[in-house]
Structure 1
């Protein structure tokens, strides 16, 4: 059984528990929300495409969750609190079972973070999902990529590389175990670091989320801050699950270039480093110049693969 566009919206995406600051939500030509006078609006948007951002056959609930999570991560990197979202959904057909699971994954995460779905669009076409999230931040407390200075310490939250390891285990058909299930969940259901981002808005000098790979995203942060960085590879955390399923060289590649973790990469002045939460690891330092270099065992090393680029011929879809 297939449903029409307006049936889909009414049945699966209309929330009864919208935020009180949603003055006009789904059902009109546009939404209207109230913004407090002491806050600024922060807006992020990401698109995920079947075969590029997730393998064909991925559970619809995981797709819905992930579509929102990657946007919440951008909001977190700015130090903001997510508030509202819109959804653009392109589907080849309107299967009820798929829509039920997709909306459940999307809206469960939305409720967890207090986000209301306030509008969007639904069309027939290839599977392409775009979510836009808007949030609020104090007038003088948002984070950017542009504040790092030479001497600042470089931190990463969580364990980079687990999501890339999870995707690899899916693609390679690795037998199911506690380790493979953990890694696959890290790919399918990344945890947006919203609470950490809120803490960092008064602590970090610069921040961004890691979506395309730690080193390539660090390149972006350094370009915005007009600085360089030195990464101590030995200090980049790796998990027991990764080590159980992959060799050391592969684990290092996942951690430095894998992407899809949606962890926060941030810089802090040395005199404030003691206040950084224990969930983050210091992995290097910001330097003069523009070069991002790596050390292993205290010696300079060259890392061939730095991350993902959608328009590079060298990158293959999952």
Structure 2
């Protein structure tokens, strides 16, 4: 059985292709250079088996998603990815698992020219912690505290897909159509960080956040930091064809779009005068950008559906307010009414 350093060398050491990495994996510290005129954006996320993903999730998907959720944070700041560190805790040495996990990790890292520059391996219950570093010009960072009254509120892609896939993965609300199941599960297990869209919004957008815990909860963070409110139109929420087919009512689809997490789309606020420019810039990246509301002076979130006030049953997930795991809580709370109607 290989030791810790053999494990690192075999699965997590790749040739360095970045000029800003003077020393990477294999020493006590990495030695890195931050380009002149750039701020260093840093984010860390931990994924734990049974909390952030079902324990039987494919290792390739775990490797991909562990990095994707971090790259999504860089996207939310308008930052260009550069480096990452990985701390992984494993219950045992398992060659096929590690080979597939590292393949998923690097399959996402390499197109973004992201270098793995260090980390740690330990033995214990499965968990993965990745720290990513990226660069952003100071005046162009998309900060949570920058939303302004009158801004358009918009989201990339479609919402609610990962929540529907989770219900299927947990066996609570199976999807019988194989094409829809595969597409929705890919949205859950291999999300696409919206880095190109974020870079296109540099100098155009005001504020941004990635949607990890549900649109309503994540947007509320922006409103709290910016001291503003928002009015959203439910009929404008972008819903995929697969989600519409795999829910029995439009309200179920809307509830998933508002309250389920793991879509890793971006929610952005954009000056109204620059909305056409922003939409065109994001569309040019092959990503949709949909206007769903506006920023208001009145604090809080006002939800409207075809002229009537709408009250959702869930507003997202919080690790310390909710006693259950992310997976279990999504199953029992975010999707509860949906699953009852489909059973």
Range class of TM-score, shorter chain: over 0.9
Match of 2:303 among 280, 283, 294: 294
1:313 equivalenced with 2:325 (yes/no): no
Task: Using the TM superposition, name which of 105-114 and 305-314 deviates more.
Answer: 305-314
Alignment of 1:177-216 (within 5 A): 177-216=178-217
Go from structure 1 to structure 2 and tell me whether the alpha carbon gap of 1:313 and 1:143 turns closer, same or farther (over 3 Å shift): closer
Question: Could you tell me the TM-score, scaled by structure 2's length?
Answer: 0.90
* 1:180-235 deviation per Cα after TM superposition (whole angstroms, max 9, x unaligned): 11000000000000011111121111111110000011111100110000110000
Q: Which runs of 5+ in 2 are unaligned?
A: 328-343
Task: Using the TM superposition, give the Cα deviation of residue 316 of structure 1 relative to its aligned residue in structure 2, in angstroms.
Answer: 4.4
State the alpha-carbon separation in 2 of the partners of residues 317 and 171 from structure 1.
12
- Distance of 1:118 and 1:285 partners within structure 2: 41
Is the CA contact (8 Å cut-off) linking 1:61 and 1:105 kept in structure 2? yes
Shift in Å, 1:317: 4.0
Secondary structure of 2:17's counterpart equals coil
Matches within 5 A, 1:1-318: 2-172=1-171, 173-175=174-176, 177-247=178-248, 248-277=250-279, 278=283, 279-313=288-322, 315-318=324-327
- How many equivalent pairs are there? 317
Q: Matched residue of 2:144: which SS?
A: coil
TM superposition shift of 1:37? 1.2
- The superposition leaves residues 261-288 of structure 1 with CA deviations (integer Å, 9 ceiling, x where unpaired) of 1101001111101112341100001011
Q: Tell me by how many angstroms 1:10 deviates.
A: 0.5
For residue 291 of structure 1, report the CA deviation from its aligned partner: 1.2
Gaps of 5+ in 1: none
SS in 1 for 2:292: strand
Say if 1:316 and 1:88 are closer, same or farther in 2 by CA, change over 3 A. closer
User: With structure 1 as the length reference, what TM-score do the two structures score?
Assistant: 0.97
- Greater share of residues in helix: 2
2:255–2:313: 8 Å Cα contact kept in structure 1? no
